[in-house]
């Protein structure tokens, strides 16, 4: 597959911005930098960050057992998704196809970029009907975005269905794996060698517990990473974020044990939710949240709020009428949630 044919001509022909320091920004101690008009007095942060985050990428590449050339980092995965759209989708011409319901930012990002956004409805188990999806593909469909585990349902998409999309669709396939660490499945990163048009997005905002540092990750073929690097703003991931992420990657066991706690708390919450009279359905989740259908979402949302608990009211989202999406908290928070859920059941 020739990825270059999928890239917008303006991006393909773009001469990217380069700084004098691109090659040696991770070798700070070896040179005297007088190229970027920084304040020369050391504040720890007086220097621009490494634009290609070499040290951080190396750590991540080792962990995921891929090359650093298959990684692009961004200011959250929202920025990664925005960059992907800008690399491939020609405004007022190309289309993005995704699922409904799914993560709301896909549509917003498509609209910001003046790109048509189409969706294919998931079935009642929030599963993908591959035939129906591929039927929606038109000559202008540049990209399909799949989210697995999906937000807001929490359901994993079946591996075989995703593979079928990858096999049959000749454009870019993005798999948003923001919640993959909470799931029973492994990442599609292992499939990168087989599909040059595959892009996987992940984030440090969920399982890694670092939503505040804003770090998103794109794993893709070198051709795709090269194209994204062309349009990436030079210093999109700041020094503090890079340092914090490197520190985090030195001890991921802590995250692993937190994930185990979150998963067992998820099971506890699931059972409690199922036992409540005003709950009509609790959807199985492979993420760190649970979608629950209640008798009256607006009423139950307000009742929880009166007790100081904020959940996400998804009642206006397609297929989610009267649904609340509740994030799994820490054990103490879940105790309070359970108390309140039972209290409003009386």
CB distance 228 to 108 below 8 Å: no
Beta bridge pairs of residue 312: 325
Task: Give 70 or 203: the residue with its C-beta nearer to ligand PMP.
Answer: 203
Q: How far apart, in whole angstroms, are the C-alpha atoms of residue 193 and residue 170?
A: 16
CB of 150 to ligand PMP, least distance (A): 7
Q: Interface with ligand PMP includes 76 (CB under 6 A)?
A: yes
3-state secondary structure 198-226: EEEEEECCCCCCCHHHCCEEEEECHHHHH
CB distance 199 to 74 below 8 Å: no
Helices (H) then strands (E): counts for the chain: 11, 11
How many residues belong to the site for ligand PMP (CB under 6 A)? 12
Q: Interface with ligand PMP includes 176 (CB under 6 A)?
A: yes
Pairing relationship of beta strands 141-147 and 116-121 according to DSSP bridges: unpaired
Stretch that binds ligand PMP, among 71-79, 111-119, 224-232, 330-338 (CB under 6 A): 71-79
Task: Give 119 or 151: the residue with its C-beta nearer to ligand PMP.
Answer: 151
Q: Interface with ligand PMP includes 112 (CB under 6 A)?
A: no
CB of 149 to ligand PMP, least distance (A): 8
Q: Interface with ligand PMP includes 77 (CB under 6 A)?
A: yes
Stretch that binds ligand PMP, among 15-23, 74-82, 122-130, 190-198 (CB under 6 A): 74-82
User: Which of 103, 117, 126, 283 touches ligand PMP (CB under 6 A)?
Assistant: 103
Contacts of residue 156, defined as CB under 8 A and 6 or more positions apart, other chains included, come to 148, 149, 150, 183, 184, 185, 286
Q: How far apart, in whole angstroms, are the C-alpha atoms of residue 258 and residue 291?
A: 21
Q: Interface with ligand PMP includes 285 (CB under 6 A)?
A: no
Per CB under 6 A, residues contacting ligand PMP are 76-78, 103, 147, 151, 176, 178, 203, 205, 211, 216
């Amino acid at each position: 597959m020739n990825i270059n044919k999928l890239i917008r001509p303006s991006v393909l022909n773009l001469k990217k911005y380069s700084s004098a320091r691109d090659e040696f920004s991770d070798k700070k101690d070896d040179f005297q930098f007088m190229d970027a008009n920084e304040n020369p007095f050391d504040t720890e942060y007086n220097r621009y960050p490494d634009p290609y985050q070499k040290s951080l990428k190396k750590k991540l590449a080792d962990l995921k057992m891929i090359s650093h050339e298959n990684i692009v980092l961004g200011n959250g995965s929202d920025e990664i998704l925005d960059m992907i759209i800008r690399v491939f989708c020609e405004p007022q011409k190309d289309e993005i196809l995704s699922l409904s319901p799914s993560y709301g930012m896909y549509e917003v990002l498509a609209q910001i970029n003046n790109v048509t956004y189409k969706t294919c409805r998931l079935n009642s188990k929030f599963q993908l009907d591959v035939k129906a999806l591929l039927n929606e593909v038109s000559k202008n469909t540049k990209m399909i975005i799949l989210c697995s585990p999906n937000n807001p349902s929490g359901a994993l998409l079946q591996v075989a269905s995703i593979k079928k999309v990858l096999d049959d669709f000749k454009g870019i396939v993005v798999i948003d794996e923001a919640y993959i660490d909470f799931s029973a499945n492994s990442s599609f990163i292992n499939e990168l060698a087989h599909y040059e048009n595959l892009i996987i997005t992940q984030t440090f905002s969920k399982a890694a517990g670092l939503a505040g540092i804003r770090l998103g990750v794109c794993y893709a073929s070198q051709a795709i990473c090269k194209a994204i690097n062309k349009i990436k703003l030079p210093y999109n991931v700041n020094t503090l974020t890079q340092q914090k992420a490197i520190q985090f990657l030195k001890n991921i066991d802590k995250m692993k044990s937190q994930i185990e706690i979150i998963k067992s708390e998820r099971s506890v919450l699931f059972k409690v939710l199922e036992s409540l009279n005003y709950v009509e359905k609790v959807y199985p989740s492979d993420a760190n949240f649970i979608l629950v259908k209640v008798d009256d979402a607006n009423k139950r949302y307000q009742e929880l709020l009166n007790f100081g608990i904020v959940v996400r009211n998804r009642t206006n989202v397609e297929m989610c009428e009267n649904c609340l999406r509740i994030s799994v908290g820490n054990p103490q928070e879940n105790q309070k949630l359970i108390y309140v859920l039972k209290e409003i059941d009386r």
